Chains A and B, each alone.
Chain A
């Protein structure tokens, strides 16, 4: 039982780390009109609604912290945003089904949209930059749309990983019972 649990933790950590590395090194090359998709949020939200609030929180916290360490002005800012994103997505676990792709797309789009607005309010508005509509048109909405497009590719992969892990867990559980 324990080995399976450790395996899940390790796999999750690798996924988060991989997402972060891709986000910082490869994704800048995929920029369209200066906008890159938000892979970290896809991973956070997916783990949230696939696995529930707790894992969503931990994944979100870890990814946010990684961003904070290298690119944030202060530790904890992005960690908090991603933490809350993971938790809220986790609350949707109860109405989530594997076969349904509409809910994940909707949730990830919503998360990215709210994330954009949160970043605008907490950084730009506090510097008295009131040009909200411009940022909405130039950054928040394009980022959400691009993120959805990437979700269509990334989400099935995350789903596959989760399926494999869950199958493993079930097998070992039945073995011990």
Chain B
């Protein structure tokens, strides 16, 4: 009996000790990022290589599955794509025309910044958040590949999220549909700004919410595209977020709010592009004129 009491006492001490350690680490890591440093290195040598390995195997299996898709399917797809090419060629010609006009006008206005050409580097998604509450994932590139905190992450043409943490060979990305994320956006056609915020309760319906858009005379309709705005200090300007699926005037009659369908399919992201310029660098250069 006595011995049993003793072990339960020891257990209690261990519980208290580890709890205090956890609390201490929480306080430390909320004050400084350095507290997590040793743990990151630990993860770097243990978990990350294994995750990358599993990811490779998964990708290989996916390729195998794709190889077995039938000829008929491929033919149909080919036809569809051919039709798409035709449509796009027409559109492209039209856009080319516009481009020349744009260039001419740009010369007139001496605009020298072209936001469309950010330098990017590709990365694979190697792991997703363990729980159901948040939407973050890790990619297989880190500070060794020149990745820094606050770099924007894209998939295809749409905004995926932002890098919030960097290890030597991995980085953590918080996606824009994460509940803790807010992006300053603007309507492409009217340049009205709004705040785009992720929402856990909307995640399952594949939407994100926006609000605080000025209720002015500009007509903003369903289907209009929302891009990142010029106001944001973290997100680069002009990256596509998604298109409006619903818009309402708020009860105060001053602002409008609604929902956006993101341009990226967040259910299956495998490869992402990281823009290797941060907004801070970009604006900093402009200010100091370096």
List chain A positions with a Cβ less than 8 A from chain B. 17, 20-21, 23-26, 28-29, 31, 33-36, 38, 40, 52-54, 57, 61, 64-71, 74-77, 79-80, 83-84, 87, 90, 119-120, 123-124, 127, 129, 131, 134-135, 138-139, 143
The reply to whether B138 and A70 form a contact with Cβ atoms under 8 Å apart is yes
What are 28 pairs between A and B in contact, CB < 8 Å? A24-B51, A25-B54, A25-B55, A25-B58, A28-B128, A29-B58, A33-B204, A36-B132, A38-B130, A54-B10, A54-B14, A67-B131, A69-B40, A69-B42, A69-B43, A70-B47, A70-B138, A70-B172, A71-B129, A71-B131, A74-B30, A75-B26, A76-B22, A76-B26, A76-B29, A77-B22, A80-B26, A90-B11
| B21, A57: Cβ atoms closer than 8 Å | no
Binding site for A on B (CB under 8 A): 7-8, 10-11, 14-15, 18-19, 21-26, 28-30, 35-36, 39-40, 42-43, 46-47, 50-51, 54-55, 58, 126-134, 136, 138, 170, 172, 179-180, 200-201, 203-204, 267
B266 nearest in chain A by CB position: A34
Residues from chain A with a CB closer than 8 A to the CB of B43 are 66, 69-70
A24 and B24 contact, Cβ closer than 8 Å, known pairs A65-B39, A138-B204: no
Inter-subunit contact B133/A123 (CB<8 Å): yes
Q: In the bound complex, what is the Cα–Cα distance between A119 and B134 (angstroms)?
A: 11
Number of A-B contacts (CB under 8 A): 134
Whole-angstrom distance between the alpha carbons of A83 and B18 in the complex?
8
- The 8 Å CB contact of B132, one of A34, A52, A79, is A34
Taking a contact as CB atoms closer than 8 A, the residue among A24, A54, A80 that contacts B127 in the complex is A24
With A34-B204, A75-B26 as contacts: A87 and B11 at CB distance below 8 Å: yes
B47 neighbours in A (Cβ, 8 Å): 17, 20-21, 66, 69-70
Find out whether the CB atom of A74 lies under 8 angstroms from the CB atom of B11.
no
A83 cross-chain contacts in B, Cβ below 8 A: 15, 18-19, 22
Q: How far is the CB of A19 from chain B (nearest CB, A)?
A: 10
Decide if B130 touches A23 in the complex (CB within 8 Å): yes
Most B CB atoms within 10 A — which of A21, A54, A69, A143?
Answer: A69
7 closest A-B pairs by CB: A76-B25, A24-B127, A76-B22, A80-B22, A74-B29, A76-B26, A28-B128
Q: Specify the chain B residue showing the minimal Cβ separation from A21.
A: B50
Contact across chains for A74 and B134 when beta carbons are under 8 A apart: no
Known A-B contacts A70-B47, A71-B136, A83-B18; A53 and B11 likewise in contact (beta carbons under 8 Å): yes
**What residues of A have a CB within 8 angstroms of the CB of B28 in the complex?**
75
Bound: A156/B278 CA distance, A: 50
Q: Which of B130, B172, B201 contacts A134 (CB under 8 A)?
A: B201
Interface on chain A toward B: helix, strand, loop, or mixed SS? helix
Q: Are A76 and B23 in contact (CB under 8 A)?
A: yes
Assembled-state Cα–Cα distance A120/B179 (Å): 12
Residues of A within 8 A of B23 (CB): 76, 80
Contact between A139 and B15 (Cβ–Cβ < 8 Å)?
no
Within 8 Å CB of B170, what residues of A? 70
With a 10 A CB-CB cut-off, give which of B23, B132, B170 has the most chain A CB atoms.
B132
Residue pair A54, B132 in contact (C-beta under 8 Å): no
Q: Which of A26, A33, A57, A84 contacts B54 (CB 8 A)?
A: A26
Residue of B nearest to A119 (CB): B133
Q: How long is the Cα–Cα vector from A25 to B39 in the complex, in angstroms?
A: 20
Q: Given that A70-B172, A71-B172 are contacting pairs, would A21 and B201 also be in contact in the complex, using a CB cutoff of 8 Å? A: no
Q: Tell me which of B19, B29, B46 contacts A75 (CB under 8 A).
A: B29
Q: Are A17 and B46 in contact (CB under 8 A)?
A: yes
A54→B35 CA distance, assembly (Å): 26
Most buried by A among B19, B26, B130: B130
Given A17-B46, A53-B11, A69-B39, A75–B25 Cβ distance below 8 Å?
yes
Instruction: Provide the bound-state CA to CA distance between A31 and B11, in Å.
Output: 37
Q: How far is the CB of A59 from chain B (nearest CB, A)?
A: 12
Are A57's CB and B14's CB within 8 A? Answer: yes
When distances are taken between beta carbons in the complex, the residues of chain B under 8 Å from A139 are 132-133, 200
Q: Of A25, A53, A127, A138, which is within 8 A of B201 by CB?
A: A138
Q: Are A34 and B201 in contact (CB under 8 A)?
A: no
Q: How far is the CA of A131 from the CA of B130 in the complex (A)?
A: 22
Please state if A84 and B19 are interface contacts (CB–CB under 8 Å): yes
Q: How far is it, in angstroms, between the C-alpha of A31 and the C-alpha of B51 when the chains are bound?
A: 18
Q: Which residues of B contact A17 (CB under 8 A)?
A: 46-47, 50
Contact of A35 among B132, B172, B201 (CB under 8 A): B132
